[in-house]
């Protein structure tokens, strides 16, 4: 049987845990580099969604117009051809 000392009351408090895991603030170069990269990604996605929305409406109108124009030309061809 062991006679070595045993410790059973070692429950750490919340404050102790915070102190045991100290945090240095993020360094300025990393903070700025990440902000620049993430902002660029955010704005790129913004542009992509803008271009998509912007292209969708006129594109649809153009296709619809082309479809009706082709139909009309076909009718004219039937009448005069």
Partner 1 sequence: MDEAETHDAEREDELRLVRALRARERGAFDRMYQQHHDRIWAFLLRLTGRRDEAADLFQETWLAAARHAESLEASSRLLPWLYTIARNKHRNARRFLLFDLRKRELSALEPEPERMGLDDEVEARERAAALQRAFYELPDASREVLLLVTIDGMSSADAAVVLGLKEDAVRKRLSRARAELTDAMTRLENKKMRSQARGAARRTS
**Dihedral sign (CA 36, 37, 38, 43):** positive
H helices of 1-81, in order, are: 14-20, 28-80
To the nearest whole angstrom, how small is the minimum distance from the Cβ of residue 47 to partner 1? 9
Give dist(CA 67, CA 45) in Å, integer: 32
Please give the distance of CA 75 from its chain centroid, rounded to a whole number. 49
Q: Between 38 and 73, whose beta carbon lies closer to partner 1? A: 38
Q: Between 17 and 57, whose beta carbon lies closer to partner 1? A: 17
User: Which spans of this chain sit near partner 1 (rule: CB under 8 A)?
Assistant: 4-8, 10-12, 14, 16-21, 23-26, 30-31, 33-35, 37-39, 41-43, 45-46, 49
To the nearest whole angstrom, how small is the minimum distance from the Cβ of residue 77 to partner 1? 47
């Amino acid at each position: 049987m062991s006679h070595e000392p045993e410790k059973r009351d070692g429950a750490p408090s919340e404050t102790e845990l915070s102190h045991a895991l100290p945090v240095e603030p993020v360094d300025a170069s990393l903070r700025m580099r990440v902000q620049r990269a993430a902002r660029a990604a955010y704005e790129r996605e913004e542009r992509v969604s803008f271009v998509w929305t912007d292209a969708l409406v006129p594109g649809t109108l153009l296709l619809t117009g082309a479809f009706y124009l082709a139909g009309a030309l076909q009718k004219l061809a039937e009448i005069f051809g």
